[in-house]
A and B are shown apart, each in its own frame.
Chain A
Amino acid sequence: MVPDSRAVKKTSGKRKLAVWKFASCDGCQLSLLDCEDELLALAGEMEIAYFMEASSHQVEGPYDLSLVEGSITTARDKRRIQQVRAQSRVLVTIGACATAGGIQALRNFSDVEEFTSVVYAHPEYIATLKTSTPVSAHVAVDFELQGCPINKHQLLEVISAFLHRRPPQVPAHSVCVECKIRGNVCVWVADGIPCMGPVTHAGCGALCPGYSRGCYGCYGPKENTNTASLCHWWKKELGADQATIVENLRNYNAAAPVFARESRRQERPDGEK
């Protein structure tokens, strides 16, 4: 995908960056902090106006670029994301939680009240929505950077692209493309291991197949996915059972529509009908 690179007005002075957290593990924000060598350069180009993970120093909005981590799981967050959007000229979501609902979207497939009643001594104190949803289900998002966690080089690429008004080079093709470019031997074809690579968005550099493991889809769906055909082959030729199939679809990107639809279909008693 080459996203809409709508012109960003050049304001005087440094542009303001804000980093927001919703329901998430902080791993994607850490990817930003992990950009050790580039952090100074980033601070040179942008005013880091709001980034609670890194500093309690806060500058008021509006912000030129907001990076949003985390999914929407509470009524309060539902309101808060509206406020974030209203203060942000460009809003980029980062990570599986913000782009697809995250691992916590497993609740979308069950009854969350049942969970809270079992887990908490006083479930009445828990105020949570029945679902975990991506930011794009609530407000307009300018660019989604997938991955659990995101790749820090891709994050820098997205920020650089924003600063210099060009489309980010974040290809939306399969992990297989990266896998072949690396010269990996395909674990699916050579070892019969179920691999999510053909339906998963590139970005990790085909990490898991590089260690002779199947991809489990942590970068979420690629463009133009065909999960039905993938699952059919897993079952028919690789002998994968229903649990393996559903578990692979229901990971960090369980609620991504193409994964969710297929995992529901796989769970139906009539299977792939």
Chain B
Amino acid sequence: MQDYVLQARDLDILIQVVRAEGFEVMGPVLRDNAIVYDAISTAADLPQGWTDEQEKGTYRVKRRNDGAYFGYAVGPHSWKKFLQLPHRQVWKARSNNSGIQVAEIVDEAPQLAFLGVRSCEMHAIAIQDRVFVDGEYQNDSYTRRRSNIFMVSVNCTSAAASCFCTSMDTGPRVTLPCDLEMTEVIEGETHYFLVGSESYRGARVLQQLPVVPSTQEHEAKAERAVQNAVRQMEKGPRNFDSTDLKELLYRNYESPSWDRVAERCLSCANCTMACPTCFCSTVEDTTDLSGTYAERWERWDSCFTADFTYITGGAVRPDTRTRYRQWMTHKLATWHDQFGSSGCVGCGRCITWCPVGIDLTEEVRKIRELEKINREGP
């Protein structure tokens, strides 16, 4: 892939060209003390000069001492909210003398550009694609939305303490296909983006930008910037070996560790809502007072709720122990058998946005340690 250099001051041109190509641009914005994903119309809407500090159960935005546009990690939102809608109507039905008429609700699938998609997020989207587009449980709404996305990815040049994509082999360098790939470089007075395109649509946009072909020096600087994120994670608190997670969890279905985490877990479902791969939803059927009109809605659901496993006689997972075990074992173990990959991309959202700071990397470590103690004695 031939890379080009786009000066940082020209970032807005990129946004305007993508808009002119017919896409509504969604990207990071600073709102309510967090960097969330929302509609943007100019580069000035981006959280330039801001970063985030994340640890378990805490998130704070802070000023950076430079003008970086993408100098933060992932926030509370994920792109899933644009693809697998949190709440949507599936059908409506009316009954009259001639029977029941059911009308499917086909929600419009807007042409969206996602600006600033990180590598772990690309992996998360690919995971959801395997479920909703290629899998047994196809979701038309998702599929239609997904096919309209113009994807602009950004290589991470700094990582939050909650990030562990290097351990999950999902980042920080973008490896999955997108329309445009960018790396932000700030060194002294220089501030530019290394940009490459991997699709026809991306190339069309690139052609319209005031770019120059990159030199080896540009590329070396970009590589150094990405290596910075790698180093942060390798030295960070959540670096671990994930290769045997499936077997580990399959062996430890009865680990006492599950009881301990259940004492702390609130069963609030924040982790699953924030997770970019968690795809579970429920359908809610309702009628109006007359009983002649009915609706079905699809809504995000979570393995942390009782309704989720409610069948005749009660919930299959009535307590927090079984719910947390289900969540983590699905993410890190059974997902492999079901979809051929881990269900976790190491984005750290479940760690940051868990109100009581439950950290799945820490839970894995505890399970491993307890197993060792059980085997070898303390």
Contact = CB atoms under 8 A, between A and B. Distances in A.
A171 B36 contact: no
A181 interface: yes
Contacts of B290: 41, 44-45
Q: Which among A164, A169, A177, A198 has the highest number of chain B CB atoms within 10 Å?
A: A177
Interface of B: 31-34, 36, 57-61, 76-77, 81, 86-87, 263-270, 273-274, 284-291, 299-300, 302, 304-307, 310, 318-320, 352-353, 355-357
A157 B284 CA distance: 12
A164 B320 contact: no
Contacts of A44: 289-290
B305 A177 contact: yes
A254 to B, nearest CB: 20
Contacts of B57: 188-189, 233, 237
A160 B288 contact: yes
Interface of A: 1-2, 38, 41-42, 44-45, 156-157, 159-161, 163-164, 166, 169, 171-174, 176-177, 180-186, 188-192, 195, 197-199, 212, 223-226, 229-230, 232-233, 237
A226 B36 contact: no
Q: Which among B81, B288, B304, B352 has the highest number of chain A CB atoms within 10 Å?
A: B288
A160 B300 contact: no
A7 to B, nearest CB: 15
8 A-B pairs with the lowest CB-CB distances in the bound complex, closest first: A180-B273, A198-B268, A198-B266, A185-B32, A173-B305, A185-B34, A181-B86, A176-B268
A197 B268 contact: yes
Contacts of A223: 305-306
B36 A2 contact: no
Contacts of A188: 57, 355
Contact of A224 (B32, B299, B319): B319
A44 B287 CA distance: 15
B273 A172 contact: no
B26 to A, nearest CB: 12
Contacts of B263: 226, 229
B289 A169 contact: no
B305 A171 contact: yes
Given A164-B287, A189-B352, A229-B356, A174 B268 contact: yes
A251 to B, nearest CB: 18
Nearest to A194: B355
Contact of B291 (A156, A160, A184, A186): A160
B296 to A, nearest CB: 11
Nearest to B297: A169
A190 B32 contact: yes
B343 to A, nearest CB: 18
A189 B355 contact: yes
A224 B357 CA distance: 19
Q: Which among B86, B268, B305 has the highest number of chain A CB atoms within 10 Å?
A: B268
B307 A1 contact: yes
A177 B355 contact: no
A224 B36 CA distance: 30
A226 B320 contact: yes
Given A176-B273, A186-B76, A189-B355, 20 more contacts: A160-B286, A163-B289, A164-B291, A172-B305, A173-B304, A173-B306, A176-B268, A176-B269, A177-B268, A177-B269, A177-B300, A181-B299, A183-B36, A185-B36, A186-B270, A186-B355, A190-B76, A225-B266, A229-B263, A233-B357
